[in-house]
Amino acid sequence: MYVDDGTTTDDDTTATDTDAGQDELTVEIDGEDYMVEENVDLDGDGQNDTALVETETGEYMAFADTDGDGQADVAVQYDEQGNVVAGAEYDESTGEWHEESVDSLPTPTGDGADDATGSSSDTDTDTSATDVSDTSTDTSTDTSAGGDMQVDLPGEDVNAGPATYDTDGDGVSDTAVVTDAEGTTYAFTDVDGDGDADQAVIIEQDGDVTVAEHTGEDEWTVVEEGQISADGSYTPDSTSGADAVWAER
């Protein structure tokens, strides 16, 4: 797994503040600290807890702080189609990243880096790609949740496959990630554990992002829209609102 910091994570990012927060997260690589911005609410609690960064090769890196110290301790690498490539966990005692199965990685909760008790210092952000593991990760979809997740869409229920991510840290996988033939990635989350998707995050190949919630039979309501720019920063649209309906896949 490679952490490619050829992307820009300067402090003057154009992403606007939202209720979810736009917190800075420290990522340590080979003894150097780099700053990235939390721009994704992975556990659906209204607070950003994950930094999603696009690399120069078009792949994505997701960094998260799962222990509330303001420093990234888990990383997941995605290819251009949004498929999981590898996962890694940071060992504070050695200052090194070690490859881990994505299914076994701890997941962020709460407000991510904003829950930290301390503050991080200013750091540089320009670095080359760094290898943080030697081999690929087992991305098997076997989970403890059991069963496939159903997505209620107009006129049909779609099978999203098994949940492969535990976004609320309760030990049960609750989110299924799928990619269609056009390269659009969908992350469906079952919030209440009934086997049906309650929240959807849609990331299109051009970086357009839509966040929607299941608000009734055959109905999904858009709660936020935005764009992931070439430097990996996420900017919500100023016109985003809950009056739009998303109901196509």
Tens digits of pLDDT across the chain (249 residues): 444 444 434 433 333 333 344 478 899 988 888 888 888 887 777 888 898 888 888 888 899 998 888 899 999 998 877 888 889 999 988 889 999 888 888 887 765 555 554 433 343 433 333 343 333 333 333 333 457 899 998 888 889 888 888 888 788 888 998 888 888 889 999 999 899 999 999 998 888 999 999 999 889 999 999 988 877 788 888 765 555 555 544
Query: What is the extent of the structural domain holding 230?
Result: 148-236
Q: Where are the beta strands (DSSP E) in the chain?
A: 2-3, 24-29, 32-37, 50-54, 60-64, 74-78, 84-91, 96-99, 130-131, 148-153, 156-162, 175-179, 185-189, 199-203, 208-216, 219-228, 234-236
Q: Rounded to the nearest 5°, which phi and psi values hold at 214?
A: -75, 115
Cα-based distances in Å from 219 to 30, 239, 248 = 47, 20, 10
Assigned domain for 53 exists: yes
Assigned domain for 244 exists: no
Residue in the block written with tokens 């299914």: 103
User: Is residue 30 located within the same domain as residue 126?
Assistant: yes
Q: Last residue of some domain: 76, 101, 131?
A: 131
Assigned domain for 245 exists: no
User: Is residue 114 located within the same domain as residue 159?
Assistant: no
Q: Last residue of some domain: 97, 131, 165?
A: 131
Closest CA to 77 of 97, 62, 99, 58: 62
User: Is residue 176 located within the same domain as residue 116?
Assistant: no
In contact, 52 and 62? CB cutoff 8 Å: yes
In contact, 148 and 161? CB cutoff 8 Å: yes
User: Is residue 84 located within the same domain as residue 47?
Assistant: yes
Total of domains in the chain: 2
